[in-house]
Amino acid sequence: MSETNVFENSERGIAYTDAHITAYPIEYIAGIDLYNAGEFHAAHDAWEERWMGEGGPQEKLFLQAMIQSAVAFHHLEIGRPGAARRMHQMAKEKFERLGKKVFMSLDLEEYQAQLDCALSWLLGAPDPRELTPPDFSPPKIKLLPEIMEYD
């Protein structure tokens, strides 16, 4: 990673290394940058480009869950908490079907715990449209150092 990137990422921690850039599809890495910058719709677009391409079934399931988690935050940005809740539930279901603790160097248990913490206020309300969103922080994606095989 260049010194500029390290400096730009120093406040949130470095999200990934040069080894991750080499090992994983550029759309995945670009989506991480966009997501961490709060550009959830753009992150969705980056990951969707890869999802629609040549990835294997586990990668596609993983990317679909990541897309849905990003879309949940996009729906909150545009005032659609009910749709955000549904996207969060759909992402959780796909992560569960994937059945992995870590995939493409992302600690899925930690990421999902952060998602649940950020969106827990949506889950118990009979009608989320009646809720006033509290202050919350979306998860920040930081890959584990180990490079993983994926399909």
User: Over the stretch 62-119, which tens digit does the pLDDT of each residue have?
Assistant: 999 999 999 999 999 998 999 999 999 999 999 999 999 999 999 999 999 999 999 9
Confidence check: pLDDT of 133 > 90: no
**In 52-107, which ranges are continuous DSSP H helix?**
57-77, 81-98
In degrees, rounded to 5, the angle at the alpha carbon of residue 35 between the alpha carbons of residues 74 and 96 is: 80
**DSSP string spanning 10-37?**
TTT-----HHHHHHS-HHHHHHHHHHHT
Distance CA 112, CA 92 (A): 8
List the structure tokens of 62: 């993983």
Mean per-residue pLDDT, 27-32: 98
